[in-house]
Amino acid sequence: MKLPEHLLLVDDEEEFATTLAERLELRGIRTLVAHDGKTALQMAQEHGPFQVMVLDVLMPGMGGLEVLRRLREITPQVPVILLTGQGSTRDGIEGMRQGAFAYLNKPVDLEELLRTLAEALSNQEGNL
């Protein structure tokens, strides 16, 4: 399973995002973290392109779907994986319609996330 070397993780739950980032780092994935949509867009411009982005849907201020829409203008090729609550499956489906690669329900299982990251990367490389 080939994993991405670097990704951007966007989630307003700081403890969740930083802890998940540490776990991804332990698996060799350099992970930058943004806690809001505006910062995520800035980081995508300044530090991108990332191989994959993991994006929470429900965030204060600019929501994940709006971030996704704007990301598509900056980095149209980068696969995006959405994190949704169970009841927000509709947001996940809407995100897929807007070009997200996949959506996962929170609390996400790390092995499932790693599998999805690998699939996103493989799909991305196949499209190049």
Partner 1 sequence: MSHDPIQTMGTLTTMTTHELQNVLAIIRESAGLLGDILDANASVRLKHRPKMDEALGHIATQVDRAKKLLDALNRMGHSPDPDVQDACDLALQAQALLHLCQRPARLKEITLQFTPATHPLLVQTPALTVFTEGFAFLRALLDVCPSQSCLEISLDSTPEDHRLVARPSSPGDPKPVLDALPQGRINYHNGTFTLAYPVRQP
Interface residues toward partner 1, by CB under 8 A:
13, 15-16, 19-20, 22-23, 26, 58, 85-88, 105-108, 110
* Residue whose CB is less far from partner 1, 25 or 125: 25
Write a three-state SS string for the chain.
CCCCCEEEEECCCHHHHHHHHHHHHHCCCEEEEECCHHHHHHHHHHHCCCCEEEEECCCCCCCHHHHHHHHHHHCCCCCEEEEECHHHHHHHHHHHHCCCCEEEECCCCHHHHHHHHHHHHHHHHHHC
Quote the least distance from Cβ 98 to partner 1, whole Å.
19
* Complex with partner 1: residue 49 or 85, whichever CB lies closer: 85
Q: How far is the CB of 55 from partner 1 (least distance, A)?
A: 14
Compute the least distance from the CB of residue 115 to partner 1, in Å.
Answer: 15
